[in-house]
Amino acid sequence: MSDREKVFTTLTRRGLLKGGAAVAGGVVGLGGFPYINRFAVRAQETPLKFWQFYAPGGPVASQVAWFEKTVADWNDSHPQKIELEFIPNSEYISGPKLATAFASGEGPDIFIISPGDFLRYYNGGVLKDLTPFIDDKAKADFPESVIANRMVDGKIFGIPMEVEPMAMYYSVKAFEEAGLNENDVPKTWEALLEVAKKLTTPERFGVMFETQPGYYQNFTWYPFLWQGGGEFQTADGKSSFDSPATVQALKFWQDAINSGVAPRQIMGAGGHDTIANLASGYVAMQNVGIWGISQLQSNAKDFQYGVFRLPTPPNGKYVTVGGGWAFVANANGHNSDAAGEFCAWALASMDQGSVNRVANWCTKGKSDMPPRNSALKSGGGAFSTGMIGKFAEEIHPGTRAEPRVPPEVYKIISDAIQQTQLGGADPQATATAASQQLDAFLTSYQGAPIL
């Protein structure tokens, strides 16, 4: 029996629930899921369930339309039908709904995951190998930096639909009220806090970083670790979290809170929500990803804003993080071959319809950088003009892929961020303690490689 099979067969639902109680923010902490095949394979006339947080009923009409058209086009040309099932973002990302569905044998046939949560599902034996459904030319169309954290042993288990670099957004109105303009855009951490102080009023915070624990908060914090040369593990799999780079990144976010220029409480759906935080006037600057462009275009068209690269620490180097969601298929689903075929048809075929579908998602449905070279070409001028063009030219070149980590590693890092950012803990002591915890876990970890 392989290590992966051992992981899969030894877990229990009791272990799932126990892990869930230990994870901040409602994210279930486990390495795998016990699948109970209680049902025979459904006939093709029974639709496969596709769980995601975009459609139908999502907050952005263009994204709803893209998902609905994608599924409708498939259903018009294939005997096995697919049905979209909308799960609110708050339940999908931070809640236990997806994980507990798999624990009870009721996981969806198709769903989307980020790199940060890849190992939870791969190590649990959930993910279908999609490699047989993708031809070699299409595989080569995905840059290695985009596809690597969705692969294990040369096989593809997730097909990315986007690349989402992080940046800083700012309110033009708030800048003008403070006597600032685009020439005052901060380039260093110190300058960011100074500008944030000028922008802070009794009704508005100067800057915002995510404060809610979860995979997203970790994702947004990684660039500040990397800019100072920090990492959370060495090449030989040991912890490197106890470093000056870690300490200064933890302290920077803590200083933003302690100085009163950043809020402890985030509005709306979370730190990824530009409408409830930046456009509302709650904050003047917000650390958020490229998707903010489509949010503002769809729901705050008259709001004037600017975007700039993440500032850097003393002697630091510019880098940002590029996440993004990927289509995956349930290996134990009702028709896993059809589910795998759909994922490849939708996002990883050299057919022009598939290429255009990816380009349209990144330019019309949402606002993202494309994960395929052909889609970048197909998008044409959309990636060289406007705000997306600014991301493509100034921000995206410094992108590093989001790490994939098992839930235990995520939790240790998340706790360190929370303890320092909101709890007032000493950054050095916190980094040391977290590093010891990481070492204890990494020495016994047996799942797919952490990247």
Cα–Cα distance measured from residue 154 to residue 351, given in angstroms and rounded to the nearest whole number: 23
Residue 84 phi/psi, 5-degree rounding, is: -75, 135
Residue 275: DSSP 8-state: I
- Order of strands, sheet of 159-160, starting from the edge strand that comes earlier in the sequence: 82-86, 48-52, 110-113, 326-329, 159-160
What pLDDT is attached to residue 39? 41
Q: Is the dihedral of CA 336, 151, 71, 346 positive or negative?
A: negative
| Residue 159 DSSP SS3 | strand
Are 78 and 338 contacting, i.e. CB atoms less than 8 angstroms apart?
yes
ω before 403 within 30° of 0 (cis)?
no
What pLDDT is attached to residue 387? 96
The residue written with tokens 């109680």 in the block is 21
Q: How far is CA 4 from the centre of its chain?
A: 25
What pLDDT is attached to residue 190? 98
H-helix segments, 263-406: 274, 292-299, 336-347, 352-360, 373-379, 386-390
Question: Tokens representing 58?
Answer: 């999502």
List where CATH 3.40.190.10 sits in the chain.
Answer: 48-163+323-401, 165-322+404-443
Q: Bridge-partner residues for 328, per DSSP?
A: 111
What pLDDT is attached to residue 100? 87
Residue 421 phi/psi, 5-degree rounding, is: -65, -50
b/e for 264-303, b at 16 or more Cβ within 10 A?
Answer: eebbebbbbbbbbbbbbebbbbbbbbbbbbbbbebbeeeb
Q: Kindly give the pairing relationship between strand 159-160 and strand 326-329.
A: antiparallel
Low-confidence ranges of the chain (pLDDT < 50): 1-43
Are 80 and 72 contacting, i.e. CB atoms less than 8 angstroms apart?
no
What pLDDT is attached to residue 94? 65
Helix (H) or strand (E) holding 166: strand 164-171
Residue 24: DSSP 8-state: G
Question: Tokens representing 179?
Answer: 């006597």
Q: CATH code for 48-163+323-401? A: 3.40.190.10
What pLDDT is attached to residue 33? 46
Cα–Cα distance measured from residue 193 to residue 221, given in angstroms and rounded to the nearest whole number: 16
Closest CA to 168 of 148, 147, 146, 184: 184
What pLDDT is attached to residue 23? 34
Chain segment 297-345, per-residue pLDDT in tens:
999 999 999 999 999 999 999 999 999 999 999 999 999 999 999 999 9
Residue 249 phi/psi, 5-degree rounding, is: -70, -45
Cα–Cα distance measured from residue 355 to residue 340, given in angstroms and rounded to the nearest whole number: 17
Are 334 and 83 contacting, i.e. CB atoms less than 8 angstroms apart?
no
Q: CATH code for 165-322+404-443? A: 3.40.190.10
SS (H, E, C) 324-354: CCEEEEECCCCCHHHHHHHHHHHHCCCCHHH
